[in-house]
Chains A and B, each alone.
Chain A
């Protein structure tokens, strides 16, 4: 009886534990796989958008991103 209750208690506590941490941001490290990757344009959820057209700089650091900025 006690073993059954203990197992039930542990199982119930495990079920109520908070979920594992998971980053909800897409590409938070700004890594670019290719020029047509999901970054950075678009209005849908899970994509970065740029607030100002002046984000067109620093091409050496973020070449694919810069190429897309220039179209804004």
Chain B
């Protein structure tokens, strides 16, 4: 097995290759109201029957203070066409509710191999601040003024 994302990856089937499969979680610092993108790569080996897809993982982002209050969660299944070790990138957006968020990815369906790698959470929409909004409005007003001046 190999990974295009460095030298290591996780196999969520663990040592026993039996359900319940394993998972990982990490608490990150977030800004309430901001929107983030959770991305991760899932790997299968389509050339070996017991390492091939379909594989499914459950991915969630939840408020750390109450893990049951999931902000978003979903099942991600990959079964790509082709042969060999294939990695597929999955993405899900969520909006943070607290200043910390628990990211969790757990294996759900598979045989001997559920590859997980390249997990990331990126800010895609910050919470607009009043000063930023005021600056933005001032910039727009200036541009409008300049455009009108040119037109006259």
B26 touching A12 by the CB < 8 A rule? no
Is A34 close to B, CB under 8 A?
Answer: no
A18 touching B5 by the CB < 8 A rule? no
Consensus secondary structure, chain A interface: loop
A47 touching B26 by the CB < 8 A rule? yes
Consensus secondary structure, chain B interface: mixed
Minimal Cβ-Cβ distance residue in A for B12: A55
Instruction: Report which of B1, B100, B138 forms a contact with A61, defined as CB distance below 8 A.
Output: B1
A29 touching B117 by the CB < 8 A rule? yes
Q: How many residues of B contact A (CB 8 A)?
A: 56
Q: Per-position contact with A for B44-65: 1 when CB-CB < 8 Å, else 0?
A: 0000000000000000000000
Minimal Cβ-Cβ distance residue in A for B149: A2
Minimal Cβ-Cβ distance residue in A for B132: A16
- CB neighbours (8 Å) of A49 from chain B are 24-26
